[in-house]
Amino acid sequence: MAEPVLEYRQITKDYRVGLRRRHLRALGDFSLTVNRGEIFGFLGPNGAGKTTAIHLAMGFMRPTTGWGQILGKEFGDAPTRMRVGFLAENLALHNRRVSELIEFYAELNNVPNSRKAAAAAVERLGLTEVSNRITMKLSRGMQQRVGLAQAIVNDPELLILDEPTSALDPVARVMVRELLLELKRTGKTVFVSSHLLSEVEAVCDRIAILRKGELVRVGTISQLLEQADRCSVVARGITKEGFPMAVPQNGFLMLNVEHARQREIIEHIWSSGGEVVSVNPVRESLEEMFLRLASSGKEIGK
């Protein structure tokens, strides 16, 4: 049975913003479970509440209602964070030499032989050449790598990454992707929020899509992409006149129909003397699904 390492249970988070202390709901009745050993993608448009959910898990803020656990302990438990790696969105680093900075973070986490651990993290992220340089003088992409190095320096069981590849060039992105897959192979869990759908699609076992503080979809990528409420019916022996919405495809006609009308269409094909070749759920791209969910009303729960 899957062991949960990160659990949100009916969490609501309200902010008070502005001089008039206006009420802003960042998360509403949010429940989600991330299991050990998976790479979990957390998607949503800007302002959906992804960063709030991550900050709650790290204990930077407390839920208004509901509760959550990280590695079996309530959110905010400091000793538990020794087993967690975290990379913030728009990370601001202390102005130090790269190796010193990573060592500092390792010491905060009580990592034994912190200097050696820091050197290993620096090497793993391809930062050896710049390890004596000041972080502020590095490019944004290099700084992001430093951020990743500090996140993995304690060999975490759970890695929480908020937009880890946003400032990276394609080569560095591939490196991060390989790092995530390598972590997965060693049994680590990765919870990653990203806008880069191709990255998510390439590495994640499961994804959740958040919109305006509510979870609209969660599941494996293939489940989600096939969950669309449309299917394609491929038929032969019919003409386009009888089926104006049909599209010719490889000598057949293909009809993209709603699930609710599937039976009706198939019967219509048969009654017209045609033959149904195949019926398949329509497979959207992740981007299509994301855009549809981001712009539409609430969809299916979980």
The structure tokens listed for 276 are 């149904």
140 contributes a contact to another protein by CB under 8 A = no
Closer to another protein by Cβ: residue 24 or 181: 24
Closer to another protein by Cβ: residue 89 or 226: 89
For residue 150, give every residue at least 6 positions away whose Cβ sits within 8 Å of its Cβ, in sequence order, or none. 87, 101, 102, 105, 121
Closer to another protein by Cβ: residue 59 or 164: 59
**Burial of 93: CB neighbours in 10 Å, binned 0-12, 13-18, 19+:** middle
Closer to another protein by Cβ: residue 183 or 225: 183
Instruction: Give the single-character DSSP code of 134.
Output: B
Instruction: Give the single-character DSSP code of 72.
Output: T
Window 3-22: residues binding another protein (CB under 8 A): 15, 17
Q: Which of 4, 31, 104, 219 forms a contact with another protein (CB under 8 A)?
A: 104
Closer to another protein by Cβ: residue 42 or 243: 42
CB atoms within 10 A of CB 285: 12
Using CA atoms, how far apart are residues 117 and 154, in angstroms rounded to an integer?
A: 7
Closer to another protein by Cβ: residue 38 or 103: 103
Q: Which of 9, 82, 133, 283 forms a contact with another protein (CB under 8 A)?
A: 82
Using CA atoms, how far apart are residues 271 and 233, in angstroms rounded to an integer?
A: 15
Closer to another protein by Cβ: residue 47 or 219: 47
Instruction: Give the single-character DSSP code of 154.
Output: T
Shortest distance, position 153 Cβ to another protein, whole Å: 10
For residue 300, give every residue at least 6 positions away whose Cβ sits within 8 Å of its Cβ, in sequence order, or none. 216, 217, 227
109 contributes a contact to another protein by CB under 8 A = yes
107 contributes a contact to another protein by CB under 8 A = yes
Q: Which of 36, 73, 96, 195 forms a contact with another protein (CB under 8 A)?
A: 96
Shortest distance, position 253 Cβ to another protein, whole Å: 46
Inter-residue contact 42 to 211 (CB < 8 Å): no
Q: Which of 32, 53, 84, 190 forms a contact with another protein (CB under 8 A)?
A: 84
Window 160-219: residues binding another protein (CB under 8 A): none
Q: Which of 23, 72, 92, 287 forms a contact with another protein (CB under 8 A)?
A: 92
Shortest distance, position 53 Cβ to another protein, whole Å: 11
Shortest distance, position 48 Cβ to another protein, whole Å: 9
24 contributes a contact to another protein by CB under 8 A = yes
Interaction mask 42-81, another protein, x per CB under 8 A: ----xx---xx--x--xxxxx---------------xxxx
Using CA atoms, how far apart are residues 156 and 190, in angstroms rounded to an integer?
A: 10
Shortest distance, position 127 Cβ to another protein, whole Å: 16
- State the residues that interact with another protein by CB under 8 A: 15, 17, 24, 26, 46-47, 51-52, 55, 58-62, 78-82, 84, 86, 88, 90-96, 104-105, 107-110, 147, 150, 154
